[in-house]
Amino acid sequence: MTFRKLTPAEAAVIEKKGTELPFTGRYYRFDQVGTYACRRCGAPLFSSEAKFDARCGWPSFDRVLPGAVREQPDADGHRVEIVCAACRGHLGHVFRGEGFTDQNTRHCVNSLSLDFVSATDAPTLAIGTLADEGQSPGAQDDRPAMAYFAGGCFWGVEHLLQQLEGVITVRSGYMGGHVPNPTYREVCGHETGHVETVEVVYDPTRVSYEEVAQRFFEIHDPTQANGQGPDLGPQYLSVVFTQTPDERDTVRRLIQRLMDRGYEVVTRVEDANAHPFWPAEAYHQNFLLRNHREPSCHGYVNRFGD
């Protein structure tokens, strides 16, 4: 991946995880329409529609573009750091529960970590695009890919898949049902047909789809037909939503390997293109990380003998 040349001040924030002085950044008092991108690699991060004034001294956003930002524990042991999902450059921190907007989320970002692209140029941006003089805007090799898995409570699946090297970010949500944009209450009430699902954004140059899928089979019990652990019900079933024939063949090959080893696998394989992914409510995202908890229904088991 090609990076832009940074000024010493930009490098101090993006690479050394520093923080610019409050009320000094160029984008704090800035209200043009467009897209905010990563200063180092050019990947789009935030829409101007998500920007709001939190009066904190730094640009604030209550939403991110899908798959654009990764959350991880901050070195201080208390806060949650946010980094660019494409290049891992430091952006700032995310805070929840403050009540500034309906999203109840504040991504507090350093202006030095950002570039702004006006609305007329924004359509050329895509996750992983390298806005560098020597890189074609249409290049695909470095763009993250997505995968979709359901294996019980999405808190545990999300938490453990985030730990796989090459995974950029994981988002909890719902797939497989017939009701648009379902709520958690509706899904738990068995009114929508959805299963709790995670959307995995990963770097295919660092980890393959097969490796991500194999890890999925190793962190939940693919032989349990009525849920996962003590979480019982149709919303907790084991399902892989595949987007291409290659993904479907990969999952079926992994299932056959497990069956050859004596596992009675009940995981369903369904077409992701026929089932939209609906993100879960904000309070579900990174639930275990934010609450300093470990999964109770999920854990790693080496089922393939590799």
15 and 83 share one domain: yes
Q: How many CB atoms lie within 10 A of CB 85?
A: 29
Do the beta carbons of residue 298 and residue 231 sit within 8 Å?
no
168 and 284 share one domain: yes
101 and 15 share one domain: yes
Please tell me the predicted confidence (pLDDT) of residue 146.
Answer: 86
Average of per-residue pLDDT across 51-66: 94
Average of per-residue pLDDT across 43-51: 91
Do the beta carbons of residue 152 and residue 196 sit within 8 Å?
yes
Contacts of 273 (CB under 8 A, 6+ apart): 243
pLDDT single digits (tens) 130-158: 333 333 233 344 456 889 999 999 999 99
173 and 241 share one domain: yes
pLDDT of 129 above 50: no
User: Last residue of some domain: 92, 124, 156?
Assistant: 124
Does 306 reside within a domain? Answer: no
198 and 119 share one domain: no
pLDDT single digits (tens) 228-283: 999 999 999 999 999 899 999 999 999 999 999 999 999 999 999 888 888 888 78
Q: What is the mean pLDDT of the chain?
A: 87
d(CA 127, CA 259): 37
285 and 235 share one domain: yes
pLDDT of 227 above 70: yes
Does 137 reside within a domain? Answer: no
Please tell me the predicted confidence (pLDDT) of residue 76.
Answer: 82
Please tell me the predicted confidence (pLDDT) of residue 52.
Answer: 96
d(CA 169, CA 70): 5
Pick 104 or 141 by higher pLDDT: 104
DSSP 122: G
pLDDT of 124 above 50: no
Does 88 reside within a domain? Answer: yes
Does 195 reside within a domain? Answer: yes
155 and 269 share one domain: yes
164 and 285 share one domain: yes
Transcribe 202-224 into DSSP letters.
E-TTTS-HHHHHHHHHHHS-TT-
Does 226 reside within a domain? Answer: yes
Does 297 reside within a domain? Answer: no
Please tell me the predicted confidence (pLDDT) of residue 207.
Answer: 92
> Does the annotation count 84 as an active-site position?
no
d(CA 113, CA 174): 32
279 and 160 share one domain: yes
pLDDT of 13 above 50: yes
119 and 149 share one domain: no
Q: Where residue 119 falls among pLDDT bands split at 50, 70, 90?
A: low
d(CA 172, CA 87): 22
Q: Where residue 117 falls among pLDDT bands split at 50, 70, 90?
A: confident
Q: Which of these is catalytic: 38, 87, 108, 297?
A: 108
197 and 103 share one domain: no
Please tell me the predicted confidence (pLDDT) of residue 140.
Answer: 41
Q: Where residue 42 falls among pLDDT bands split at 50, 70, 90?
A: confident
Please tell me the predicted confidence (pLDDT) of residue 57.
Answer: 92
Does 276 reside within a domain? Answer: yes
Domain harbouring 164, CATH code: 3.30.1060.10
111 and 200 share one domain: no
Q: Which of these is catalytic: 38, 84, 87, 153?
A: 153
pLDDT single digits (tens) 160-175: 998 898 887 788 999 9
Does 3 reside within a domain? Answer: no
Q: Where residue 202 falls among pLDDT bands split at 50, 70, 90?
A: confident
Q: Tell me the residue range of the domain where 228 lies.
A: 145-290
Reported as type and span, the H/E element at residue 13 is helix 8-14
Number of domains in the chain: 2
